[in-house]
Amino acid sequence: MNAATYAGIALALLATTAYNVGLILEKRALGQMPTLDIRRVMRVVVSLLTTRAWLAGFALMLTGLACQTVVLTFEPVSVVQPVLASGVVLVLVLSRLVLRERLRGNEAWCVAAIAVAVVLLALSATGTAESHHADPGSMAAVMIPSIAIGLLVAVGSLRTRRPGAVVSAVWAGAGTGLLYGVAALAIKALSGVLVRHQTPAGLVTGVLSSPYLYVLGGCLAVAMLLFQAALQAGRASIVIPVSNVTGSTYFIIAGTWLFHEHLPASPGKLVLRLAGIALAAMVVIALSRQAPEPVSAPVGTEVAGGQLAEARR
C-alpha cells in the first residue's frame, strides 16, 4: 500500500469513529425523550430537532458521514468499507460503558461473529483502484428494489411498537441497513462528480443535476427517522451492529459490481471475501431467531388503556 492508501485508511477510521460515537450520543438522548411515533413524521422531526443532546450526536454523525464521502473519492470500496464497518467494535465498547447494555443468550457469540466477519472482509481487500462511474440503468435496477425491501422490513418491525409490546431490533437494523447501503451507493456515485469536475461552478452544477443527490437525501432522511425509532426501542449493541454490517455487506456486494471493481484475484482473498459475506448473513439470521425484546417506555410516557399517552405533569 502507498502513502495515499494509508491516509485513506486513517480518514476512514476517523469517519467511523465520529459516526458511531455520534450514534451512541443519540441513543442516550433518545432514552430521555417521549416515544417516537413513525406515523407522525413532523412530530418526530420537531422532537429531535429541539433536543440539544440529540443534535450534538447528530452533528458528530454528520461529520463522520462527510469524512466518508471524501475518502470514497480516492479509495476503492473494498478498502474503505471494511474499515468503516470496524466501528462495530467501538459501538459494543461504548454501549457497555456509556449505556450499560448487556448482551444476553447467544447474542455475545453473534456479535463476536460480526467482528470476525468484518476482519475477513478487511483481509480480502485488494487495494486496487476502480471506476467512479456506474451505469444508471443498473443503479436503478439495484436501488429501487433495495429501497422497497428496506422500507418493508424496517416499518414492519416497528409498526406494533409500544410499551409492553415486542420489537425485532434485528430486523429494524437490517431494514435501515439496506437503506443506508443504498445511500452509500449514492455517495459513491456522487464522489465521481468530485473527480470529473475541477471548477467550483462545474462541481455545483454536476452535484445539483445528479439524481444521486436526491436519492441520497431521500434515503438518508427516511433511514434516519426509522433508525432513530429502532434505536430508541432496541439496544444499541444490537441495532447499530446489525444495521452497519447489513449496510456494509450490501455496499461491498453491490458496489463491487456496479462500480466495476474486480473480485480479489488471489484465491485466498476471494475465500476470505465470500466467507465474510456468508458469516455476516448467518449472524443476522441467527440473531433474528432470538426472542424479540420488550419495548420499555421512554421518559415522559405511560401506558393508558393499552395505548401510549404522554404523562401529564
Segments making up each domain of the chain, as ranges: 3-294
Average pLDDT of the chain is: 78
Buried b (16+ CB within 10 A) or exposed e, 77-97: bbbbbbbbbbbbbbbbebbee
| pLDDT (mean) for 191-219 | 79
Comparing 145 with 171, which gets the higher pLDDT?
A: 145
Helix, strand, or coil here: 28? helix
DSSP secondary structure, 127-155, as one string? -----S---HHHHHHHHHHHHHHHHHHHH
**28, 29, 34, 38: CA torsion to nearest 10:** -90
Predicted local distance difference test score (pLDDT) of residue 95: 86
pLDDT over 60 (residue 195): yes
Helix, strand, or coil here: 38? coil
Single pTM value for the model: 0.74
Predicted local distance difference test score (pLDDT) of residue 161: 55
| pLDDT (mean) for 112-129 | 68
The amino acid occupying position 263 is: L
| pLDDT (mean) for 37-65 | 90
Comparing 46 with 298, which gets the higher pLDDT?
A: 46
- If pLDDT is split at 50, 70 and 90, which confidence band does 309 have? very low
| pLDDT (mean) for 204-225 | 87
pLDDT over 80 (residue 15): yes
- Cα–Cα dist 95/112, whole Å: 15
| pLDDT (mean) for 99-109 | 76
| pLDDT (mean) for 152-179 | 77
Is the distance from CB of 246 to CB of 223 less than 8 angstroms?
no
Predicted local distance difference test score (pLDDT) of residue 227: 92
Predicted local distance difference test score (pLDDT) of residue 163: 46
| pLDDT (mean) for 178-188 | 89
Predicted local distance difference test score (pLDDT) of residue 302: 42
pLDDT over 60 (residue 292): no
pLDDT over 90 (residue 87): no
DSSP 296: P
| pLDDT (mean) for 287-296 | 58
pLDDT over 50 (residue 311): no
Residues 6+ apart with CB under 8 A from 14: 64, 67
Residues 6+ apart with CB under 8 A from 32: 51, 53, 298, 299
Predicted local distance difference test score (pLDDT) of residue 4: 63
Predicted local distance difference test score (pLDDT) of residue 280: 78
- Cα–Cα dist 195/313, whole Å: 56
Comparing 205 with 198, which gets the higher pLDDT?
A: 205
Show the cell assigned to 277: 459475506
Comparing 252 with 98, which gets the higher pLDDT?
A: 98
Comparing 8 with 211, which gets the higher pLDDT?
A: 211
